[in-house]
Amino acid sequence: MSRPARVDYDLEAAKANLQRVRGLAPRQKIMAIIKADAYGHGLQRMAAAFSAADAFGVACLEEAQGLRDRGVKHPIVLLEGPFSPGELREMQRLALDIVIHHDEQIAMLRDLPEGHRLGVWLKVDSGMHRLGFAPQRVRGVWEDLQRCGAVAPPVRLMTHLACAHERGHPSVPVQLACFAQACADIRTERCIANSAALLAWPAAYADWVRPGIMLYGVSPFTDSSAAAEGLRPVMSLRSQLIAVKTVRAGEGVGYGGDWHCPEDMPIGIVALGYGDGYPRHARPGTPVLVNGKRTALIGKASMDMLSVDLRPVPAAAVGDPVLLWGAGLAVEEVARWADTIPYEILCGVRGRPQFLDPNAG
């Protein structure tokens, strides 16, 4: 029998989440963000699930190549643009759109030999201060790009909100006003809203929206659940108990022996650990479902295994199913116990857990 660690991806849930976006922004085009291997869900798998989107957003040329190699015809937007001049010819060949956010990239475009003209998005730094041109430069840079022979006009505009995931944060209307002023009198399509802005800031919808985390059934907020936002989890991480034992009161469990049994108690060993993407820094008490019943992590997660408290599940036996997160246990809750964010946890699940398609058959 193969190792029982499994990850499944509910593609019907993914499609439902995209429909949730359509319901929120019915007049806008959707750029589905599938960078970082689609937040750990599989680039090709999620591109197929999100085929009803109008475009895909990725972080690098390699991700775009993988999509084109599999026959994906959607517009693909490189969210960080070219990193070197040598990439541009391949971007032309693949007919990609690129985000331009600094002067060196404009110089690369000017030096580009004739060929396929690239679609361009001009990034505006409206206050996040990560990527983008200063607001006072936007009109001039936009006009320069419009005239560039390597660019297919019209050049679109985009920005990114730093605090949209905090409801009512005062920086959001400031950034929206900054972007509007910087782009005043420029007649072209615009894109502002990420997942959080889609759910909480309708003023940010513009012509395009670019959902990421919500497509995977995860809330971008700390004060609400995915279910409360009308979202369904796509990824579920599962395994089984491979050992059950009784440990005496006062005995330590796991590496370092830092967690001590408060009484004689049954514990279970799960065939899954940080080598499968489970967060090593998850604290004792992190929720786990055994046989569908809620219990908790005890001790430190190791590379291939972790230990759970079986007192709430006294009849548990070797081979019983364990859910680490997914349908029935929100990854957002696990992330809080691990002092991290669900984005990081989802992106960490790569390679070793076997894929199980819950919609098969």
- Active-site amino acid positions: 35, 255
The answer to whether residues 247 and 275 touch, using CB atoms and an 8 Å cutoff, is: no
Q: Is the dihedral of CA 46, 49, 51, 52 positive or negative?
A: negative
The answer to whether residues 306 and 342 touch, using CB atoms and an 8 Å cutoff, is: no
Residue 72 token pair: 């994906």
Q: Is the peptide bond before 154 cis (omega within 30 degrees of 0)?
A: yes
The answer to whether residues 20 and 214 touch, using CB atoms and an 8 Å cutoff, is: yes
Residue 352 token pair: 């070793």
Burial of 6-32, coded b for 16+ CB within 10 Å and e otherwise, reads bbbbbbebbbebbebbeebbeebbbbb
User: CA-to-CA distance for 16 and 282, rounded, in angstroms?
Assistant: 30
DSSP 276: G
User: CA-to-CA distance for 158 and 329, rounded, in angstroms?
Assistant: 35
Per DSSP, helices labelled H in 43-117 are 43-49, 61-69, 88-93, 103-110
Residue 203 token pair: 């003023």
User: CA-to-CA distance for 165 and 163, rounded, in angstroms?
Assistant: 5
Backbone angles phi, psi at 66, to 5 degrees: -60, -40
Backbone angles phi, psi at 232, to 5 degrees: -120, 130
